[in-house]
Each structure stands twice: as C-alpha cells, then as structure tokens.
Amino acid sequence: MAPPKLAAGNWKMNGTLQSLAELDALPTAPGVEVLICPPALLVQPMAGRAAGRIMVGGQDCHAAASGAHTGDIAAAQLKDAGASHVIVGHSERRSDHGETDAAVMAKAAAAHQAGLVAIICVGETEAQRDSGETLSVIAGQLAASVPDCATAANTVIAYEPVWAIGTGRTPSAAQIAEVHDAMRQALCARFADGAEISLLYGGSVKPANAAEIFAIPHVNGALVGGASLKAADFGPIISALSAA
C-alpha cells in the first residue's frame, strides 16, 4: 500500500480563537489527509470546529504519561482534546529546549502509547550540509529518534532542513530526493512496513513550489509552517498534493 498523502500545517506560536475562521475557508481534496497543529490552547476548539473534515494535532508532548511537569502537556491530554497527531522533535524544540534524539524518541513512544500518530522531525543544519554530513546526520537522527514501536499507522517522518525553515530557501529537488530516498531505505531496513510510512518535506513550502516538491519520489506530503496560517496559501498546497 502506498503511504498516505498528508498535508500538515504547523501554526507554531501563532493564532488566536479568531484564527479558527481560516478552517472554514480551507478546502479538502481527494486522496489527501489534512492536518493542522495549532498552539495547544487551540487544539480543542479547532477539533470542534473542524468536525472531522480536518485533523488536529499538537506541536509537542511530554514523554511522561502524567505527573509533576509544570507547563508541559501529556500525549493523552492532546488525545483527550481531540488531537490525532503530535509533532515531536521539531528543530525549534531541539534548539529552543535542548531536546536530544533520546528525548524525542521517548516523546514519540509516549505519543504511540496514547494512541496518537507521532510526526518525528529530522533535518540538518546549514553547516552540516556544507560539510557533507547531511545523510549521516539524518541517518543518526532516524536511528536515535524513531522508537522501535513505530509503524506506518502511528508514525510520520518529516525531513526539515533547519536552514530552509522560514527562510524562503529550499533544497534542490535532487537534494530532497537524495534525503527522502535514504530515509525510505533506512525505514525499510528497520521496519516491516517501512515502505508505507509517510515521509513529509518541510521548509519554505509555498503554493509556488509545492507541485515541484510533491513530484519528488518518496515525498508523501509536507509539513508547512508559515503558508499554513492562511487558507489562501494552504489550500493550493493541498490541491497540489492531491494532483501529485
């Protein structure tokens, strides 16, 4: 079975209750799962408003099921609020909060335990790309961030080059293809259903470049930041994925 096509929006620390109006204007398209990961406070109202048309996810979860972790959110609480997915290991979490591969793996396992799909993010810095380390960095992050309990049903991998996030710069199609091909090979070598795990590209995906990116082998969708905030931008990206 081919991996599902997923158009995932990450609102990051943007949006208020008023922003939920964007959902009403957001089209869906045949063969594409649409997911938005808003700030945690908006998960429950968004899930109510999306009414099953659009899936809703968290942007992070704690590795523990519950307990004394002030300010954190458990995967089961996201699930309780109506989330189906949670992003873990986004580069902004890794850099802003010092999250290690081991921490990301524990969070992904917690997400699975709670019945959420974990979107596990990997990606090289510009310095790592410039020094030719991209493939080894990605291989290392996959090995150390993806738990053994991962399956195609509970895991999505997002390749997000750190230098492409929010910069308007994207890797060439050949560079994206090289990484996605390597990720697919690594997942197939480790997991029985590795060929069916959705692989997303993220980093400055826009309506103007979406079709080219979705034509790349083993790109099964996108994790979209800035362009997911407005239906006028995210809608054409969803359509491009449907047409790919």
Ligand X SMILES: O=C[C@H](O)COP(=O)(O)O
Q: Which of residues 145-164 bind ligand X (CB under 6 A)?
A: 160
Structure token digits, residue 96: 């802003």
224 makes contact with ligand X (CB under 6 A): yes
Q: Which is nearer to ligand X, 65 or 232 (CB)?
A: 232
Q: Are 152 and 193 in contact (CB under 8 A)?
A: yes
Name the residue whose CB lies closest to ligand X.
225
Structure token digits, residue 192: 């029985």
In whole angstroms, give the CA distance from residue 224 to residue 205.
6
Catalytic residue among 22, 160, 180, 218: 160
Contact window for ligand X (CB under 6 A) among 17-25, 71-79, 108-116, 197-205: 197-205
Catalytic residue among 62, 90, 112, 218: 90
In whole angstroms, give the CA distance from residue 79 to residue 137.
31
Per DSSP bridges, beta strands 155-159 and 117-122 are: parallel
Minimum Å distance from CB 148 to ligand X?
25
SS (H, E, C) 188-201: HHHCCCHHHCEEEE
Instruction: Please pick, from the candidates 205, 213, 219, 237, the single residue that binds ligand X as defined by CB under 6 A.
Output: 205
Q: Are 26 and 234 in contact (CB under 8 A)?
A: yes
Q: Which is nearer to ligand X, 38 or 67 (CB)?
A: 38
166 makes contact with ligand X (CB under 6 A): yes
In whole angstroms, give the CA distance from residue 134 to residue 113.
31
Active site residue 90: yes
225 makes contact with ligand X (CB under 6 A): yes
Residues, the chain? 244
171 makes contact with ligand X (CB under 6 A): no
Up-side HSE of residue 29: CA atoms within 13 Å toward CB?
Answer: 17
Q: Which is nearer to ligand X, 48 or 166 (CB)?
A: 166
Dihedral, CA atoms, 61, 116, 156, 228, nearest 10 degrees? -70
In whole angstroms, give the CA distance from residue 240 to residue 175.
20
Instruction: Please pick, from the candidates 58, 89, 221, 226, the single residue that binds ligand X as defined by CB under 6 A.
Output: 226
In whole angstroms, give the CA distance from residue 89 to residue 83.
17
Instruction: Please pick, from the candidates 204, 213, 234, 240, the single residue that binds ligand X as defined by CB under 6 A.
Output: 204
Instruction: Please pick, from the candidates 165, 176, 199, 200, the single residue that binds ligand X as defined by CB under 6 A.
Output: 165
Total of chain residues touching ligand X, rule CB under 6 A: 14
Contact window for ligand X (CB under 6 A) among 17-25, 60-68, 147-155, 223-231: 223-231
Q: Which residues bind ligand X (CB under 6 A)?
A: 10, 90, 160, 165-166, 202-205, 223-227
Q: Which residues are annotated as a binding site?
A: 10-12, 166, 204, 225-226
Q: Which residues are annotated as a binding site for substrate?
A: 10-12, 166, 204, 225-226
Residues recognised as catalytic: 90, 160
